Structure 1
Amino acid sequence: MRSSTTVLFWIFLLCSGRLSLAVATAPRLSRSVVHEKRDHIPPEWSHSRKHHPTAVLPLRFALAQSNIHAMDEFVNDVAHPESPYYGKHWTAAQVAAKFSPSHDTVQTVRDWLSESGFAPERIHVKKTKSWIELNATVEEAERLLNAEYYVYKHASGKEHVACKSYHLPAHVAPHVDLVMPTVHFDTIVHRGLDSPPVNRYERVTRGLGMPGAGFRSSKMTPTVPILKNQLEHCDEQITPECLRALYGIDYTPIATEINTIGIFEATPQAFIASDIDEFAKYYAPDIHGKRPMLVSIDGGLVQTLHQGPNFTAESNLDITYAMALLTGKQNISLYQVGDIPEGASFNNFLDALDMSYCDFEGGDDPTVDGIYPDERPGGYKGKDCGTVKPANVISVSYDMNEADVSAAYAARQCAEYAKLALMGTTMLFASGDGGVASINGTCLDADGSLSVHGKRFSPSLPSICPYVTSVGATQVNPGSTVHQPESSANFSGGGFSDFIPMPEYQKNAVHSYLKNHPPAYPQHTFNRTGRAYPDVGANGVNLSLFIQGVHRLVAGTSASTPIVAAIITLINDARLAAGKSPVGFINTAIYSPQFADAFNDITDGHNPGCGTGGFNATEGWDPVSGLGTPKFGTLLKKFLELP
């Protein structure tokens, strides 16, 4: 039995911050370090009370992956045009083996928990070794993590348990990515089509397909006439013929049996088959009667219950333009993600592509991601993990605010895109339609929260990930032809990440922009050392589209992304026909000197927001149009020259 002096000594260490917990058995001596903290709570949440000490918390420790520090090296090996391993992509098994948490990581965390007084039978290591589970009382958790747990209340009445910060021993911290529940607000505030979200924050952070979270009716015109002599009117209406002329697309696919492209759509967004056929009648006869191949993920379906432009324009746009540019020869996979009650997120999609991702670093975050199985009426009763083989090219015309997630959440997702890059998948994301502001036009306050009074630019996720290609929007100027330079669209999202550092491959281009065309804003307005985006641009203004039989014009980076995806798919077709691999991750190549003349430089326009004019399009790379719009013939030639 310990003396009272010994007990008081341990309590002193705990209270003075020299030790992260007081335990029944002496733990390994290691200073306590802050692992994560939250400076503000999300909108509509408020502090309620201190949590009861005997309540039980399902603690989950997300174990650090092996070899993450070498990710850039691995990706460069398969993506850099001068690498002898260019195009030699990894298999899924090779990726899993390389990044699985090490035995040392598992053992270090398990030993720490044991030394902290938890019996072995209470410590559960998941089969994938990606995380460790431990049920602990609030009192035990607070001692273990040197934290204080509170109950927070949402405006809807829902309650959530969280802490403002937590600590780990210094020798344990490198082996743990995050602990849940802690600073993450992971209470499910259910929303669906019949029970709309209670506030704007919930709408933009959960359910990517919900009206208002992505495609907005403000980017659509009413009914417009169909103009004849399309090439003469590309400044008024963009059609596939205009796009082929703008970017020099002159290629008929021949390797369609082995080439693949996937279009991501989040339920309840759904295409209308008759609209594709109506479009085909005027602009692309060879796709009449063609449909994308449905790949259902977490109950994803092409729903017909909820119609109207807010539910059909996005999917119609993405699918129709990809099909039209690829011709009727190339099949397209439709990755329809999420059931109607719960919806979906990017992480739900990544779960389906990679079984290990479902559990990695604690799994999905209910504040942002759809949580499956969904037990509500009409909900999908399963959870799709590793059920889908990723296509060579995946186009995603959705985005969210970087500020709506934690840095750990963003890093977790970005690492998964890196794995897809290693496996040869080109991930393309819309850069967003808010200019330098957020999805709903808000900007960042000094504490990192979004508000209508914010002055700091708000970056877009997943565009801030280094291993995806971000696509901005351009337009044909009024009175101009397809043979004259485009300008950037004034809504085109662009900027710099606050979470992710600038990748090596873009440093020369971005530093040149910051040196030669420095934005006249205070240093705190944006992070000059963060990952910069977009990477490329394509037309995204006045695209002809049929929506429920009505001919309209639409705009958005939503349009630009499938256009670039189609171009990369055609390049893959040529490489596959030549017995080569798909191009996979393209950023390392397109930013290199070898590809310096492969894009049409956009030097006119800007992307306003946050009470400013935003960034300007200018010579070279810029945070409005990226490197510029593609020159298909040049890109095709250069990629065919690679191994």
Structure 2
Amino acid sequence: MRSIPSLLGTLSLFVSSLQVGYAAEQPHRHYQVVERLDSAPYGWTRGGKPPPNQEIRFRLAAQHGRAAEFEQKVTDLSSPGHESYGHHMKRDDVRDFLQPATETLENILGWLDTEHVPENSIQTDGYWITFSVPVSQAEQIFNTQFYYFHNMDSDATLVRTLQYSVPDNVYVDVQMIQPTTRFGNFGAQRTLPAIKAVAATFQDLTANCSSAITPDCLRQLYGLYDAKGKPDPQNRLGISGFLEQYARFGDFEQFLAKYSPNITDANFTVVSINGGLNEQKSGLESTEASLDVQYAISLAYDTLSTFYTTAGRGPLVPEVDQPNANESTNEPYLDQLHYLLNLTDDELPAVLSTSYGEDEQSVPESYSNITCNMFAQLGARGVSIIFSSGDSGVGDSCLMNDGSNRTRFLPTFPASCPFVTSVGGTYGINPEKAISFSGGGFSERFPRPEWQNKAVESYLTQLGNQWDGLYNRQGRGFPDVAAQADNYLIIDHGATRKIGGTSAAAPVFAAVISQLNSARLTRGKPRLGFLNPWLYSLNQTGFTDIRQQFDATNSLLSRAKRFLLLQNALIPTPQTPPQLVAVAREVLELGALASIRQTDAPSFTRYYQQLQPFYDIERHVEATGEGVNVDFSTSQRSKITGLYLLLLLSMGNSTGFHTVLEGLVEEASLKGKSVEDDPYIKYPVDLERSLMEGSYDKVWRETKSERVPSEDFGLFSNVLVGTIRSEIADCSEKAYPSLPISNAKNLLFLESEGAVIEFAQQRGWILRDGRIYFPVEPEAAARSEKDILAASGTIIENTIGYARELETIV
């Protein structure tokens, strides 16, 4: 028996076929394609036809021809030293500057009239024209077909098309019409595995940002201390809310009481855009909204703050083929931007923080260009636009969607737009380091702005030809700044949680800018507005350069080692003063740890070898109680040795591993102890034991567990997992002709199917129909199923052989 939705879909197709026939009877017209997609973006699949009477509200952007001129004007008024710096434009000034020619608007409106678009549905606002028509009429107007498209990951369903056209006589007047080819799959820029319920400890409540992030520790770290803003209408702080994320007042009050008890009177207002809801009792997750309002507002205390809740994305409709007609056609970015640009100058926020984004390549180019120009319009009016840079590093799958399947780093939009300030992520204290997932790179669409030339050229010089061909050297580089992005404590639905991601960094930086605006306005200066030309003109003054920390560290280490060399203390002798022995050991240990943090294994090995004479002295004194009077209380021998064991294990050097381990076992036995009493030694020993057992999954779980003794062990742990992954891949090529991508994800210990695709490309595997096909040797092409099953045993045989080899060594 066919379901009601199925029958509706069939009827829709039947009616559509009648309409296509009707359209064919209309007078012949010449059309030009405005925008075309070769296929639906990754993750989207085409479904049936929407009902022909379903209304869609379209936004048409008319050509005005002054985008480049306008963007230069915005850059000028945002550049310190320029005569127009700080002279922000008024709303009507921006509208007048970008007003299309009268004949352009008349031509477009005349075309809509000939297409019988109801006059009362048409609205004109500057270079934007909005109108509503049913699907059947839209298909005739744009010479196309609309379908439902569904995204399995987000469960979103949209009404979209893969191309649309307009008649020849209006083609030159049209920039873009949406929603048509704009699918959108933007999401909050946060690390989902980091969202977990926790019980806040006393250490968390008095944190210095090393174990957990709270407003108090951020105030200390970034020099805000007890600063507070003023409730000035010229300095409103705006926070964007999308995807049914609601800022809950109860959670906010509980957060302040727990983590900022001296500012419990802080508050915010909620503004709805396009019917965005303010559900205070919703059972849906609201971690993103909670994170944004709790940190932005607590750090910018006493600033007028607004949470903008914007409706719009594909609906969630379990067991129903057809989505809600209104929700399936929304376009939230444009709705929010139109709302903000229509506000009076007094109503605009001074700072807008947004923690959402998507792959730049998934956004139609006309859409990204127009949207970026709209951000510039807000900047022209004195609004600082802050976006998180993303949580996928240089890209998730790193696959181009232009049909070539080329490997390429994938920038994030809107973070790649030159007229927003993009915020990346860091972690750790003294030094503060770039966090591994922080999004960054170079835009494939937006050229590098002049204000960024000096900084980017310096970076590219240091980078050399590494990664050449995988990114656009002439593109706009991002992020512009970075802030802490891990272990944030928040309150969501009454529970304390830890969360991470660049979505945490963006509202923190927005709060800092809000505080600066408050100070400027108090002194009679204009607010900062579009930030980037000013930020880069500072030449890093007031900022910490993460890379320079390593450069400075290496410079200091070189100077210290030269001094020790002149004192004959780099290799200790009986004549070396005890105090100098301790200093030399500490310098070399710092060098070893700095090498780890710079992912420099050869340098770490050299430091380890240089440290052995110092550790020999320590071993001798501990064993005999005799010898030089050296202070060993600060020695990091266990940690350095554990790291070296892990390095040997990751390199497959089992002989070297057991040589070092046997010495440690003997030393521990003389003390009546076990090497496994030391967590730094126990960790690599446990990993090696799991390898002997062939328990690769256990190794992977161990490297992700809380038993990793310190973050410095992460580098070699990742190398070890990579080595195991390569061995499994080698065996899989011999054992199987193909595997489903989902199975390969688990087999190779990869965290996403995008990572599987990237790994498969590196190995030269073929991807087709959701499966990975391994290269087939000519002589193996005719293998029987029995042969394949026999070959699959090589995985087990290799594991047993490896275990036997290690057992022999033991």
User: Does TM-score exceed 0.5, indicating one fold?
Assistant: yes
Alpha-carbon spacing, 1:238–1:347, altered in 2? closer, same or farther (3 Å): same
- AA at the equivalent of 1:444: L
Q: Report the CA distance shift for 1:167/1:299 in structure 2 as closer, same or farther (over 3 A).
A: closer
Matched, 1:526 2:513: no
Closer/same/farther in 2, CA of residues 62 and 339 from structure 1, 3 Å limit? closer
Separation in 2, partners of 1:543, 1:333:
22
Tell me: CA distance 1:134–1:66, structure 2 relative to 1, closer, same or farther (3 Å).
farther
Distance 1:172 1:271, change over 3 A: closer
Shift of 1:270: 2.1
Q: What is the total number of aligned residue pairs between the two structures?
A: 508
SS at match of 1:84: coil
- Cα deviation 1:165-201 (Å, max 9, x = unaligned): 75775x96543213568x6267xxxxxxxxxxxxxxx
CA contact (8 A) 1:427 1:585 kept: yes
The aligned counterpart of 1:597 is 541
Per chain length, whose mean CA-contact separation is higher, i.e. which structure has more relative contact order (CA < 8 Å, sep 6+)? Answer: 1
Change in 2 beyond 3 A, CA 1:530/1:47: farther
Query: TM-score normalized by structure 2?
Result: 0.55
SS at match of 1:295: strand
- Structure number with bigger Rg: 2
Query: In structure 1, which of residues 294, 299, 322 is the aligned counterpart of residue 270 of structure 2?
Result: 294
Tell me if structure 2 keeps the 8 A contact 1:226–1:551: no
**Structure 2: segments with no counterpart, 5+ residues:** 1-25, 316-326, 548-596, 600-714, 719-753, 760-810
Alignment counterpart, residue 293 of structure 2, candidates 297, 313, 319: 319
Counterpart in the other structure of 2:744:
none
Corresponding letter in the other structure for 2:175: D
CA distances 1:145-174 after superposition (whole Å, capped 9, x unpaired): 8xx7456564699896746475775x9654
Provide the residue aligned with 1:395 in structure 2: 353
Confirm or deny that 1:176 pairs with 2:122. no
Encode CA deviations 1:565-593: one digit per residue, 9 max, x unaligned: 1100010001100111110011011112x
SS of equivalent residue, structure 1 residue 262? strand
Structure 1 window deviating more from structure 2 (405-414 vs 65-74): it is: 65-74
Deviation at 1:84, TM superposition (A): 1.5
Aligned to 1:20: none
**2:388 paired with 1:445:** no
- Of 554, 566, 575, the residue aligned with 2:499 is 554
Q: Percent identity of the aligned residues?
A: 28
Is 2:227 aligned against 1:252? yes
Amino acid in the other structure paired with 1:404: S
Question: Are 1:500 and 2:456 an aligned pair?
Answer: no
Q: 2:763 aligns to what?
A: none
- Deviation of 1:419 after TM superposition, in Å, equals 0.5
CA distance in 2: counterparts of 1:595 and 1:470, whole angstroms: 17
- Unmatched segments (≥5 aa) in structure 1: 1-22, 187-201, 356-384, 477-481, 613-643
Give how far 1:67 is off: 2.0
CA contact (8 A) 2:489 2:498 kept: yes
Q: Distance in 1 between matches of 2:375 and 2:125?
A: 19
Give, in whole Å, the separation in 2 of the partners of 1:132 and 1:582.
Answer: 33
Q: Give the corresponding residue for 2:212.
A: 237
- Which residue of 573, 577, 585 maps to 2:522? 577
Q: Residue 528 of structure 1 aligns to a residue in which SS?
A: coil
Question: Could you report, residue by residue, the CA deviation over 1:518-576 in whole angstroms, capped at 9, with x for unpaired residues?
Answer: 462251x2233222211110111112223333333221111101110110001000110
Per-residue deviation, 1:229: 8.3
Contact 1:544–1:552 (8 Å) recurs in 2: yes
Provide the residue aligned with 1:419 in structure 2: 377
Letter in 2 for 1:84: E
Q: CA deviation at 1:474?
A: 0.6
Among 225, 248, 265, the alignment partner of 2:241 is: 265
Cα distance change on mapping 1:45 and 1:576 into 2, 3 Å: same
Q: Any conservation in 1 of the 2:189–2:501 contact (CA below 8 Å)?
A: no
Distance 1:220-1:454 versus aligned 2 partners, 3 A rule: farther
Q: How far apart are residue 225 of structure 1 and its match? A: 3.3
List aligned pairs for 1:1-40, cutoff 5 A: 35-40=34-39
Aligned residue in 1 for 2:458: 512
**One-letter amino acid of the counterpart of residue 63, structure 1:** A
Report the secondary structure of 1:435's partner residue: coil
Alignment of 1:203-214 (within 5 A): 204-205=185-186
How far off its partner does 1:65 sit? 2.6
- Residue by residue over 1:481-537, the C-alpha shift from the partner in whole angstroms, topping out at 9 and shown as x without a partner, is x4x2201111111122223222222122223222321462251x2233222211110
The one-letter code matched in structure 2 to 1:520 is Q
Higher mean C-alpha deviation, range 543-552 or range 422-431: 543-552
Say which SS state the counterpart of residue 520 (structure 1) adopts. Answer: coil
Contact 2:47 2:147 in 1 (8 A): yes
1: distance between equivalents of 2:336 and 2:130? 23
- In 2, distance between residues paired with 1:214 and 1:172? 39
- Please say which of residues 159-168 and 226-235 is displaced more in the overlay: 159-168
Query: Which aligned pairs between 1:26-425 and structure 2 lie closer than 5 A?
Result: 35-42=34-41, 43-46=43-46, 62-107=61-106, 126-128=123-125, 130-131=128-129, 149-150=144-145, 152=147, 154=149, 162=161, 164=163, 166=165, 173-179=171-177, 184=181, 204-205=185-186, 215=190, 217-228=192-203, 233-250=208-225, 252-253=227-228, 255-258=230-233, 259-266=235-242, 268-307=244-283, 311-327=285-301, 329-338=302-311, 342=327, 345-355=332-342, 389-425=347-383
Partners of 1:76 and 1:83 within 8 A in 2 = no
Q: Deviations over 1:389-415 (max 9, x none)?
A: 321011112222323320111112111
For residues 411-447 of structure 1, give each alpha carbon's deviation from its aligned partner in whole angstroms, at most 9, with x where no partner exists: 121111010000000010111112222xxx4433352
Given that 2:182 and 2:367 are in contact with CA atoms closer than 8 Å, whether structure 1 keeps it comes out as no
Instruction: Choose 242-251 or 92-101, whichever is displaced more.
Output: 242-251
Q: Aligned residue for 1:462?
A: 414
SS at match of 1:220: strand
Contact 1:499 1:530 in 2 (8 A): yes
- 1:227 deviates by 2.6
State whether residues 223 and 552 of structure 1, in contact with CA within 8 Å, keep that contact through their aligned partners in structure 2: yes
Residue type at the aligned position of 2:336: F
Contact 1:301 1:339 in 2 (8 A): no
Contact 1:351–1:386 at 8 Å: present in 2 too?
A: no
The alpha-carbon deviation at position 332 of structure 1 amounts to 1.5
Flag the structure with higher helix content.
Answer: 2
Q: Supply the RMSD in Å over aligned alpha carbons.
A: 4.3
| Residue number in structure 2 paired with 1:545 | 490
Q: Secondary structure at the match of 2:125?
A: coil
2-structure distance, mates of 1:38, 1:335: 32
Residue 344 of structure 1 deviates from its aligned partner by 6.8
Deviation at 1:81, TM superposition (A): 0.4
Secondary structure of 2:394's partner?
Answer: coil
Tell whether the 8 Å contact from 1:287 to 1:323 is kept in structure 2 after alignment: no
